Chains A and B, each alone.
Chain A
Amino acid sequence: MTMHDDSQLELLERDLQRLAEPREEDELVRLAVRRQLAAMTAPGPRRRRSVRIAVGIAGVAAAAAAIAIVTDVGTSGSGGPSVADAAVIHHALTAVAGPANSIVHEKVAGVQNGVPVEAEWWQQTSPPYASLVIKGPVGHEGEVSDNGTTSFEYEPRTNTITEQPDSSPPTPIDPVSQVRQELASGQSQVAGTVVIGGSTLYKIDLPNGLVGYFDTSDYRPRYMDDPQRDGSVVRVRVVAYDYLPMTASTRALLSVTEQHPGARVVHASDSGSSK
């Protein structure tokens, strides 16, 4: 063993210690897990960690109806699904089912194939589900809007908007829409609570492998695990999730032409685009 070997071992030990050294966010994690443990030891009936429940058909109203059914089963002592878990799914579904004739605004971030990606969405909650989406690798996002009959794509390099007719049927296409549908499918399962980013979250296993993580305080979606075809899982952080009233100024958020009034507008047929 030489002095050079000794110094290399010391540097290695220092590197190992740095992997585990405390971080600023640790206090948040400490408090979140503490709350989780305190809830487990609180007096009262113990919650089951994971229970498959039937939420009913679609929509919040259906979820509420299912709660009533589950409550009857749960209180009858038949060993049916937990009322608490049914309530969690009901609240999560309510949190992602916004009022009609408003605008849902979402921003999500994740890493796909090692590349940080972001997407920000504004979409009407009622037909024609007009939308504006900014998404792509960070720093290289594309911007597209659709008013239900026509789509608009903004090209920042040339400050040009290309418009073309869009005959596809308008639907909600925001990132949380799949979570919304699957929560209402009757196949969701509360898989306990977890701590991510220092927050205590309900983990809900959704059909088709999607996993949603909902804040235990306000039930807003915070993360989603999205399984990919190659077997990996992309974790998406829900950076923003809110509903805006439909006004003249918020309506402008749905339009690329309103957002870039100085941009040149061309028709796809004129520009030779085959989109």
Chain B
Amino acid sequence: MELNALAEAPAARVRALDPDAELVARARADPREFLGLYDRYFDRVLGYARLRLADAASCEDVTSRVFTTALEQLARFRGEGSFAGWLFQIARNTVRDVQRRRPTEPLAEEPPAADPTPEEYVLERERARELHAVIGRLRPEHQHLLALRYGADLGYDEIGAILGAVPATVRVRMHRILEELRRRFPHDNA
């Protein structure tokens, strides 16, 4: 019994560190339980994709592919890092694959019926397009970091856990990326 307890100790430590460890273990035992992880991360993965890709259809495609890949490969996830780190590495690779494909002309989106006005909507769309273009010129690892923070809405501690860095280091790196972005994308309204 003592030997078993010792053997389980590392796994218990991982579980204590990774808030998803319990759900991951259940999903390994019964793949249907993966839907719990999906529900937890859907918004974050879609947000991550939206920060890195301008085309709405590509964002949906990436989100779908991230979760189907994660489900198919869950047995390969050893729990050495966090589940979130593994999932967002899949997201990063999937975005890269999509970016390598031939460019697709995004479909025109219907402007919203009310607030904002059609003119404001067009200006907003144009500004978003320009910002995406500037983000796309950043180094891939900086795009990834930016998308974890502002797309997936992760805290510095969560990003630190994913990247294996202390939160203070993540904060400093993020600040530098924002400064670089600000130089390339000056804000007229300020």
Residues of A within 8 A of B (CB): 4-5, 7-9, 11-13, 15-22, 26, 29-30, 32-34, 36-38, 40-41, 109-114, 116, 192-198, 225, 227, 231-235, 237
Distance from A108 Cβ to chain B, minimum over Cβ atoms (Å): 11
Distance from B42 Cβ to chain A, minimum over Cβ atoms (Å): 5
Residue interface mask B41-78, A partner, CB < 8 A = 1 = 01100111011000001001101110110011000000
Let me know if B150 and A13 touch, CB within 8 A.
yes
Let me know if B128 and A109 touch, CB within 8 A.
no
| Cα distance A152–B51 in the bound complex, in angstroms | 48
Contacts A110-B105, A232-B103; A36 near B57 (Cβ below 8 A):
no
Q: How many A-B residue pairs have CB under 8 A?
A: 134
**Within residues 139 to 169 of chain B, which ones have a CB less than 8 A from any CB in chain A?**
146-147, 150-153
Chain B interface, >50% SS class: helix
Let me know if B61 and A116 touch, CB within 8 A.
no
Residue A20 contacts which of B34, B51, B102, B190 (CB distance < 8 angstroms)? B51
| Cα distance A34–B39 in the bound complex, in angstroms | 9
Contacts A111-B108, A233-B102, A235-B107; A22 near B38 (Cβ below 8 A):
no
Let me know if B103 and A7 touch, CB within 8 A.
no
Let me know if A20 and B35 touch, CB within 8 A.
no
| Cα distance A114–B104 in the bound complex, in angstroms | 11
Let me know if B67 and A8 touch, CB within 8 A.
no
15 A-B Cβ contacts within 8 A?
A8-B182, A22-B47, A29-B46, A34-B35, A34-B38, A38-B35, A41-B31, A110-B107, A116-B108, A194-B61, A196-B57, A198-B60, A231-B103, A232-B104, A234-B104
| Cα distance A60–B150 in the bound complex, in angstroms | 50
Distance from B168 Cβ to chain A, minimum over Cβ atoms (Å): 18
| Cα distance A68–B179 in the bound complex, in angstroms | 63
Let me know if B190 and A8 touch, CB within 8 A.
yes
Q: A20-B47, A26-B43 are in contact. List 7 more A-B contacts (CB 8 A).
A: A11-B187, A16-B150, A40-B68, A40-B72, A111-B106, A192-B68, A225-B104
Let me know if A227 and B102 touch, CB within 8 A.
yes
**Within residues 162 to 190 of chain B, which ones have a CB less than 8 A from any CB in chain A?**
178-179, 181-182, 185-187, 189-190
Let me know if A4 and B190 touch, CB within 8 A.
yes
Residue interface mask B63-106, A partner, CB < 8 A = 1 = 11101100110000000000000000000000000000011111
| Cα distance A17–B178 in the bound complex, in angstroms | 13
| Cα distance A110–B109 in the bound complex, in angstroms | 10
* Chain A residue at smallest Cβ distance from B54: A19
| Cα distance A227–B38 in the bound complex, in angstroms | 33
Determine the chain A residues whose CB is within 8 A of the CB of B105 once the complex forms.
110-114, 232-235
The 8 closest A-B pairs by CB, nearest first: A20-B47, A16-B150, A41-B31, A195-B64, A116-B108, A20-B151, A20-B50, A111-B105
Residue A16 contacts which of B107, B108, B146, B190 (CB distance < 8 angstroms)? B146
Determine the chain B residues whose CB is within 8 A of the CB of A233 once the complex forms.
102-105
| Cα distance A5–B187 in the bound complex, in angstroms | 10
| Cα distance A17–B128 in the bound complex, in angstroms | 11
| Cα distance A16–B147 in the bound complex, in angstroms | 9
Distance from A131 Cβ to chain B, minimum over Cβ atoms (Å): 25
Determine the chain B residues whose CB is within 8 A of the CB of A12 once the complex forms.
178, 181-182, 185, 187
